Chain A
Amino acid sequence: MDSATENLRGSFLYQLFDSMDLNLESDGNQNEQEQQKRHLHVLAVDDSHIDRKLLERLLTVSSYQVTCVDSGDKALEYLGLLENTDNDSTTSCSSSCCTSSSSLSPQQEASKVNLIMTDYSMPGMSGYDLLKRVKESSWKNVPVVVMSSENVPSRINMCLEGGAEQFLLKPVKLSDLRELQSHILNPLSNSCKHFDDSFVDDNTNNGSHSCKHFDDSFVDDNTNNGNDNNDNDSDKKNNNSNKRKAMSPDCSERRPKITELVVL
């Protein structure tokens, strides 16, 4: 097996497709998408009890399997990334977790995290800190979505450049998850980057490349506000457009990579 294929096999999406026995030539109708999603396990991280409950419900309704934890530390523990990863740690985790039913043991469940959604502002380890830790670990290919109630462009850029897949403004809605789902479930239609050898190796570069696009649009949208506090009604319109920009990457930035497609 050549190194290019090795890299591909290591990629999260390749493993995902593998495990889902996906027929890549199909049109991906509604039913099939639902089936795909039921295989997807989301680790949700938020210190707010209300937001955890909301997120858990949003994700369950959208057919994902969910595990909630209330801190970055608990998330790392769940992923087996803390120094003392003995079996006891998983039981202490479950007391502050809400997990949708599964026949897998905690260790097996943790081995199947497909997406991490984390709040940004948390006491102790922030969502950004968690993002960095995940991206430096064996879980680096798992997409991480960061959420925040505050629309701070520099924060958003920092997270995207740190490797976050998306940045969502709270409160998170069903429509946000639908857009997210199409981005994560249908890489073929969104971009070819997942088959790009250099993307798999060079994750952060590509991330920042697409971020430059966000950067410009954020600057444009926010110069109109003329105030530091982004939290007022007149900002709502900008909030929504920023949010959409944070969520829908312009694929044209990535399309040039199609010339570097590795043929399977």
Chain B
Amino acid sequence: MEVGQLQERFVDYTKSLFCEGFLDDQFLQLQQLQDESNPDFVVEVVSLFFEDSEKLLNDLTKTLDQQFVDYKRVDAQVHQLKGSSSSIGAQRVKNACIGFRNFCEEQNIEGCLRCLHQVKQEYSLVKNKLQTLFRLEQQIVAAGGAIPMVE
């Protein structure tokens, strides 16, 4: 595929991620912080997010699996996940965390487990989408093109 087509695909794909609410304005902020001196900034931050999130989700699964659930700990972890997803613009993950915290407050195990499931799903989706996006970027660069800015 030639550069122009790849770039068009990239723009369309990026726009769809915003339309479908996977990403919000904060992701654009991240892109604005990337330049020639820091060409991999977005990928680096998102990779940190992946690492962080996977650890948190594993931890959450364990914490909620205990006989006596430490809801304070659950809440702290969800708060962390909410913060990091918000920082990279992963809107749907962030929103899933908001609901999650409400169930923590109520110490509602059923609600918490449902939310954990939902957060895991949203995380998995956005991870997939972002990896696809990065692959498209790599293809454009490999074909000698520049990555278009999407407003």
Residues in A lying within 8 Å of B, measured CB to CB: 48-51, 53-54, 57-58, 61, 121, 149, 170-171, 173-174, 229, 231-232
Contacts and interface: CB of A to CB of B under 8 A. Distances in A.
B29 A50 contact: no
B87 interface: yes
Contacts of A232: 98
Given A231-B98, A232-B98, A51 B87 contact: yes
A229 B102 contact: yes
Interface stretch (B12-20, B77-85, B117-125): B77-85
B52 A49 contact: yes
B19 to A, nearest CB: 16
B26 interface: yes
A88 B60 CA distance: 37
Contact of B87 (A61, A171, A229, A231): A171
A205 B49 CA distance: 42
Contacts of B38: 57
Contacts, number: 52
A57 B33 contact: yes
Given A57-B41, A61-B33, A171-B29, A48 B83 contact: yes
25 contacts: A48-B80, A48-B84, A49-B48, A49-B52, A50-B48, A50-B49, A50-B52, A50-B84, A50-B87, A50-B88, A51-B87, A53-B45, A54-B45, A54-B87, A57-B33, A58-B33, A61-B33, A61-B35, A149-B82, A170-B87, A171-B26, A171-B29, A174-B29, A174-B32, A231-B101
Question: Do most interface residues of chain B lie in helix, strand or loop, or is the interface mixed?
Answer: helix
Interface string B9-48: 0000000000000000010011011010010010011001
Given A48-B80, A61-B33, A170-B86, A53 B44 contact: yes
Contacts of A58: 33
B86 A171 contact: yes
A261 to B, nearest CB: 40
A53 B48 contact: yes
Contacts of B48: 49-50, 53
A50 B49 CA distance: 7
Nearest to B28: A173
Given A50-B87, A57-B33, 6 more contacts: A49-B52, A50-B48, A50-B49, A50-B88, A51-B84, A149-B79
Nearest to B30: A54
A58 B87 CA distance: 12
Contacts of A48: 80, 83-84, 87
B83 A51 contact: yes
A49 B98 CA distance: 21
Interface in B123-140: none
A131 to B, nearest CB: 19
A149 B98 CA distance: 12
